Amino acid sequence: MKRAAIPAAIAAAIALTAWTAYAQQATLTVVNFGGANGAAQKKAYIEPFEKAANVRVTAVEYNGEQARIKAMVEARRVTWDVVEVESPDVSRGCDEGLFEKLDWSKIGNKADFMPDAVHDCGVGTFVWSTVLAYNGDRLKDAPKSWADFWDVKKYPGKRGMRKGARYNLEFALMADGVKPADVYKVLATKEGADRAFRKLTELKPHIQWWEAGAQPPQFLVAGDVVMTTAYNGRIDAAQREGRNLKITWTGGIYDLDYWVIPKGSPNRDLAHRFIALASTPEAQAEYARLISYGPTNTKAIARLDAKVLEQLPTSPANSREALRFNIQFWADQGEALEKRFAAWAAQ
């Protein structure tokens, strides 16, 4: 029996040696949105993966430009291996053939994840929310809704908003009295879209646009805006630095970001290994401790204490009056609405 086991052991040793030699030469490029999110990913995912796989990981920051991925894929010069994308982009990119179909057997048990996190081309990595934020040192009377965000008489001053149609059209309808549960039903109609743009036009003279997630907290601290839309994790990061920035969770829009592998990545196996590590309960719990974004692996929840859980978009109190971002709506109508928004913003 022992003699029969020797060849198998030798084969395993040879395979391990070959993998180690390969891994020592390999570099994995992981692309994310940078900032506090990137810093949290470095500690929770990248550094543990480098140590476990003996691989050097190069982190690249971007602002979600899917066109950059498309250009690489079409030119067959793919240099990115794992990319964090927003939910409409995972479906659109999958349909366009920009992403590899994932081998879930290398990643984890689908049953352990939120249903929305499971996709043919992507793995949901965290739940985040776009919220109303303000500076508690400058604004003592807290805004309670998107109607307050639009009320420039009660709250004079500039408003920060992400430059794009996503989220802003939903916020506009909620400011105009549409209940969160009815937002997409209304926005799906021509009359509803017209209504959203009319409401945005009311606020347009008071808007200061932002494009990078780091800008809203900077605007608030500098006093450039009286309130702003913002990613909750960016506000959390500023709070950890001692800034008295506040969140109004009512009417926030929560969503998932996903890991994808660009079509033609030269390191598909390594990419699967990285995504697998970043999808474990242990890694996702550590990530949630570092930034207030909710885990998608449901087994991570039991590893978090009450103080961390109450700051997440997925907590009962914070999600009670929130709106789930409708991926299918934006996949179907997003291109037309973004073109209309660009024309509107340029006027």
pLDDT tens sequence across 289-346 = 999 999 999 999 999 999 999 899 988 889 888 999 998 899 889 999 999 999 999 9
The residue count for the chain: 347
Check which CATH number belongs to the domain holding 17 and give it.
3.40.190.10
Sign of the alpha-carbon dihedral angle for 284, 273, 262, 57: positive
Q: How many CA atoms lie within 13 A of 70 on its CB side?
A: 11
- Residue 56 bridge partners (DSSP): 27
Domain membership flag for residue 260: yes
Domain membership flag for residue 317: no
Same domain? For 299 and 231 the reply is no
Same domain? For 271 and 208 the reply is no
Same domain? For 336 and 195 the reply is yes
For range 270-286, the mean pLDDT: 98
Q: How does the average pLDDT of the chain come out, rounded?
A: 92
Q: What is the pLDDT of residues 30-80, one digit of tens each?
A: 999 998 899 999 999 999 999 999 999 999 999 899 999 999 999 999 999
Cβ(275)–Cβ(265) under 8 Å?
Answer: no
Same domain? For 115 and 171 the reply is no
Same domain? For 162 and 292 the reply is no
C-alpha pair distances (Å), 211 with each of 161, 162, 222, 284, 324 = 8, 6, 17, 27, 22
For range 278-291, the mean pLDDT: 97
Same domain? For 206 and 96 the reply is no
Same domain? For 212 and 341 the reply is yes
Same domain? For 119 and 215 the reply is no
Domain membership flag for residue 220: yes
The confidence score (pLDDT) of residue 327 equals 85
Q: In the chain, how many domains are there?
A: 2
Distance of CA 243 to the CA centre of its chain: 23
The confidence score (pLDDT) of residue 347 equals 92
Q: What is the DSSP letter of 96?
A: T
Domain membership flag for residue 78: yes
Statement: residue 124 has pLDDT above 70: yes
Domain membership flag for residue 318: no
Residue type, 69: I
Same domain? For 230 and 303 the reply is no
Domain membership flag for residue 213: yes
Same domain? For 112 and 216 the reply is no
Q: 82: which residues sit within 8 A by CB, 6+ positions away? A: 28, 29, 30, 31, 259, 260, 261, 265, 271, 274, 275
Same domain? For 78 and 149 the reply is no
Cβ(78)–Cβ(303) under 8 Å?
Answer: no
Using 50, 70 and 90 to split pLDDT, how confident is the model at 197? very high
Domain membership flag for residue 316: no
Domain span including residue 59: 2-127+256-309
Domain membership flag for residue 315: no
Same domain? For 238 and 261 the reply is no
The confidence score (pLDDT) of residue 24 equals 52
